[in-house]
Amino acid sequence: MTLVQLRYFVAIADAGFNITSAADHVHATQPGLSKQLKQLEDELGFLLFVRKGRSLEGLTPAGTQVLAHARKLLGEAANIRAFAANQRRDGQGQLLIATTHTQARFVLPPVISQVHHAYPQLSIHLQPSADGDVLTQLARGEADLALISTAGDVPADGIAIPMFRWRRMVLIPRTHPLAQSGARPTLADLAGFPLVSYESSIRPESSLRRAFAERGLEPQLAMTARDADLIKTYVRAGIGVGLLAEMAVSAIQDADLVALPAPDSIPECIAWAVLPRERVLRDYTVELLVALAPQLDRHDLRRILAGNQIARWPAPPTWAELSQVITS
C-alpha cells in the first residue's frame, strides 16, 4: 500500500466515483489510476467500491471505513512535509485558496502582494467559487485555506478565524429615485424595486431573504451573479438596484453610480479564514493570515492551531479599518 494509491482512492470518492474526473484531478491517466486501485484492493483483500458493470456506483461498507483512515493518513503525510519544509525554512511551495469572487477581486490583491514579496518562490492558486462550494473544496482537500463570509454564524467545518466585518451597500444609477434623497433606504424602499445581488441571495436561508421575511416583505430579485463586477454592470444597464459588499464599491471606479448604506436590518457579515483541523501550517500560510488580519498574533495563532491554547480570537475590525492597514 502506498500514499499514491490512497490518494487515488480518495480522489475517486471525491469525484463522485468517476474515474476519468479523478484521473484529471490527480494528473494521472485513467488506466494508471485503475491499475493502482486494483493493486490496492488486491492487497487489502476486499473491494472498496460497489461496481455495476465497468462503472463505480459507491463505496462498500469496508470502503467507507478505509476512506476515513485514508484521509487521516494523507493529512498526516502532508503535516510531516509541511513541518520539514518549515524546519528547512523552505519558501517554495504552493498555496491553494478557495474563496468567493468578491474576496479574490477586492480583498486579497494587497495581501497576496505582501506575501509574494516575503516568499517570491511561492505559487499561489486562487479558486473563486460560489459561497456554497468554498467549504466543500476545503473538506475535499482541494484547498489549504478557505475564505468565506457569514452573517454571524461560525462556519462549522474546520477552524474558523474571524478576519474582518463588513456591510452591504446599495448601488444605483444617479437618475434612480432612491438617489434623489440620498438617504439610507429602508427594506420597504428596496422591496419596491427589482434587485441585483449575489447568487447566494436565491437561497431561502440567506441573510438577505431572512431580513425581508422578518418584516413581511419579499425581495424582487431581478438578477443574481457570483461576481460583484457583474452586479455593477447590470446596475449600470438599468436592471435593478444593486446590493453588494462594501469592499466591492470604489469611490473612483464607481463614481458614475450612487452608493448608499444598506438598511440596518440587513445584518453585518464576518469574513472568516477556515483551516483544516490538525494541520501543520506552512510559514507562508501564517504570513497570509496575519497580513489579512493584522489583529492576530502569529505566535498565539500557531499555539491555537496546534491545540496548545484555547482560541480567543481578537475582535475583527471593520472593513474600513482593515483596508487602511492592508493598502498603506
Burial class of residue 5, CB neighbours in 10 A (0-12, 13-18, 19+): buried
Helical residues (DSSP H) of the chain, grouped into ranges = 3-14, 19-25, 30-44, 61-87, 101-102, 108-118, 131-139, 177-181, 187-191, 207-213, 228-236, 283-292, 298-305, 319-326
Of 45, 60, 86, the one marking the end of a domain is 86
Domain edge (last residue) among 229, 261, 293: 261
Give tens-digit pLDDT for 64-95.
999 989 988 887 887 777 677 766 667 678 89
Backbone φ and ψ for 147, nearest 5 degrees, come out as -115, 120
pLDDT at 94: 85
pLDDT score for 307 = 76
Q: 271 lies in a domain? A: no
Give CA–CA dist 305/287, Å, rounded: 14
Pair 99, 81 in one domain: no
223 with 302, same domain: the answer is no
Q: Which residues span the domain enclosing 81? A: 3-86
* Any domain includes 128: yes
With a cut of 70, list the residues of the chain below it in pLDDT.
82, 86-89, 91
CATH number of the domain to which 187 belongs: 3.40.190.10
Residue 27, pLDDT score: 85
15 with 81, same domain: the answer is: yes
**Which pLDDT does position 86 carry in this prediction?**
63
Taking the whole predicted model, whether its pTM rises above 0.75 is answered as yes
What's the chain's average pLDDT? 89
Q: CA-CA distance, 127 to 206, in Å (whole number)?
A: 23
Q: Which residues contact 81 (CB under 8 A, 6 or more apart)?
A: none
Same structural domain for residues 19 and 67?
yes
Question: What is the number of other CB atoms lying within 10 angstroms of the CB of residue 270?
Answer: 20
- Asked whether residue 220 is domain-assigned, the answer is yes
